[in-house]
Amino acid sequence: MSNNIRLKGGLNIPISGEAALQTSAAVKPDVVAICPGDFKGLVPRLLVREGDKVLAGSPVLADKQCADILITSPVSGTVAQVVRGDKRKLLAVLVKADEAQQCVDFGVMKPSQADAAAIKARLLESGLWASLVQRPYGILANPEVQPKAIFVSAFSTAPLAANTEFVLAAEVDNIQTGIDALAKLTPGGVHIGLSADNYSGTPFHRLENVIQHVFSGKHPAGNVGIQISHISPIRKGETVWTVSMLMLAAIGKLLNTGKLNLARKVAVTGPVAKSPAYVDALPGIAMKQLSAFYDNAAGDVRFVSGDALSGKNVGENGYLGFFDNQVTLLHEGTERELLGWAKPFRFNQFSSSRAYFSWLCPKKKYAMDTNTHGGPRAFVVSDVYSKVLPMDIFPVYLIKACLAGDLDKMEKFGIYEVLPEDLALCEYVDPSKNDIQAILEAGIDKMIKEMA
């Protein structure tokens, strides 16, 4: 049974470079990076040293605050390097993959025959507990806390996002297993958000043991945070967990086979990508292993792990994030345009406010770059945020409260309900050119520090 929720507002970004629904290659892992920065709230403790042998599923990191939470290796191989930054901050553990992969055997587990404690223990020892994200704050889920519910979004509306049905077409049984397991960890059940545009065409509407919700509207309708705000808003003192469909499939594979398998189809997208398509890969692969899709001879390509709005700029020497199944390749927009503000007839530029005539070509795709066409300015109060954010909060006042570090006002204006990705569109349309996501992230960090 499902309920239909129509979202008002939002904005679809018409960027070119969508991946064709075909798998063009399989990227064989060479050196795979395990990055603590992928897991917000993790205080990493290193469990391996350079030269150590590991299997797929062997623990590499542990959380200093909760020793039961482990981060495991996605491949078998040898620890090639431990990368540290300023003040010896742990940045990454690089594992040189073996030719023949070997896995830790955790044993097959049927959710129907296991209790919540056994399921929780299996997720912790395999490293897949890290796939559960706790809200508020978007941190690692606390094993000692029982969430009021678990939420999953079965579609994405982000720019050039990977097609969920194509990526997970063969994983429906594993996803069902993952749902059956997670349903035992919460009294509120597992809620899944489906798209009204493709409800009858997706195999996910046949999933059982879930509470379905059907959403229609523009981006960010596919963001799980937006969906939660319309299903069961997070109040002070409440906790919910979220998990992506990608990681839900990984949990199912773990329980059905007894082995950790993080393999996924990754969409290589973006205006500067050559023949955008999908590749079979693992999290942590180097961007340089995707060299067939780009030409960076001029050093003007930005490598984003994730989507263009909320993904992470990792650079050519960076790695695919643990939660990501998309890479976006963008042109670094360093060019200056003389009197660009005085040119209304800019048919190759998109405007969300009809400042140009792009609204006359609603189906046109644009080769967007990273140019912001101006620098930060005074933070003006306007309604542009509310037009693209279908949530019952006050985004302008929330961001101002974050800038001021005012905890009471952050609470009042809805910081428990949002993560930076939910306000990515606000950053895109912001006339003041503020880094909204970074401001919100700093506010969340202050809340975590002060409220601990």
CATH number at residue 70: 2.40.50
For residue 151, the one-letter residue type is: F
Contact 242, 222 (CB under 8 A): no
144 with 246, same domain: the answer is yes
- What's the domain count of the chain? 3
- Given this model, what pLDDT does residue 70 score? 98
Band the pLDDT of 341: cuts 50, 70, 90: low
- Given this model, what pLDDT does residue 49 score? 97
Give the separation between CA 447 and CA 452, rounded to whole angstroms: 8
Indicate whether 1 pLDDT > 50.
no
113 with 67, same domain: the answer is no
> pLDDT digits over 88-143, tens only?
999 999 999 999 999 999 999 999 999 999 999 999 999 999 999 999 999 999 99
356 located within any domain: no
198 located within any domain: yes
Give the separation between CA 357 and CA 339, rounded to whole angstroms: 17
351 located within any domain: no
**Which of 301, 333, 365 is the last residue before a domain boundary?**
333
Q: Higher pLDDT residue, 359 or 411? A: 411
Indicate whether 173 pLDDT > 60.
yes
- Given this model, what pLDDT does residue 3 score? 80
Domain with 420, as residue range(s), is 384-451
- Given this model, what pLDDT does residue 86 score? 94
55 with 124, same domain: the answer is no
Please count the CA atoms within 13 angstroms of the CA of 258 that sit on its side-chain side. Answer: 7
365 located within any domain: no
What is the average pLDDT across 17-25?
Answer: 96
313 with 395, same domain: the answer is no
Q: 333 is written with which tokens?
A: 């927009």
For residue 90, the one-letter residue type is: L
298 with 429, same domain: the answer is no
Indicate whether 53 pLDDT > 80.
yes
- Given this model, what pLDDT does residue 335 score? 79
Give the separation between CA 136 and CA 71, rounded to whole angstroms: 22
Backbone CA torsion sign across 54, 57, 58, 62:
positive
**Which of 290, 313, 333 is the last residue before a domain boundary?**
333
Band the pLDDT of 379: cuts 50, 70, 90: confident
304 located within any domain: yes
- Given this model, what pLDDT does residue 110 score? 97
78 with 206, same domain: the answer is no
**Which of 44, 66, 97 is the last residue before a domain boundary?**
97
Long-range contacts of 333-336 (CB under 8 A, 24+ apart): 333/369, 333/370, 333/371, 333/372, 334/300, 334/371, 335/371
> pLDDT digits over 59-98, tens only?
999 999 999 999 999 999 999 999 999 999 999 999 999 9
376 located within any domain: no
- Given this model, what pLDDT does residue 235 score? 93
301 with 267, same domain: the answer is yes
238 with 313, same domain: the answer is yes
> pLDDT digits over 343-369, tens only?
666 778 888 887 777 777 888 999 999
293 located within any domain: yes
162 with 83, same domain: the answer is no
258 with 123, same domain: the answer is yes
Bridge partners (DSSP) of residue 139 are 134
128 with 262, same domain: the answer is yes
Q: Which of 267, 240, 262, 268 is nearest to 419 (CA)?
A: 240
- Given this model, what pLDDT does residue 373 score? 80
156 located within any domain: yes
What is the average pLDDT across 265-285?
Answer: 97
Give the separation between CA 274 and CA 276, rounded to whole angstroms: 6
Q: 413 is written with which tokens?
A: 């204006």
39 with 69, same domain: the answer is yes
Indicate whether 176 pLDDT > 70.
yes
- Given this model, what pLDDT does residue 452 score? 66
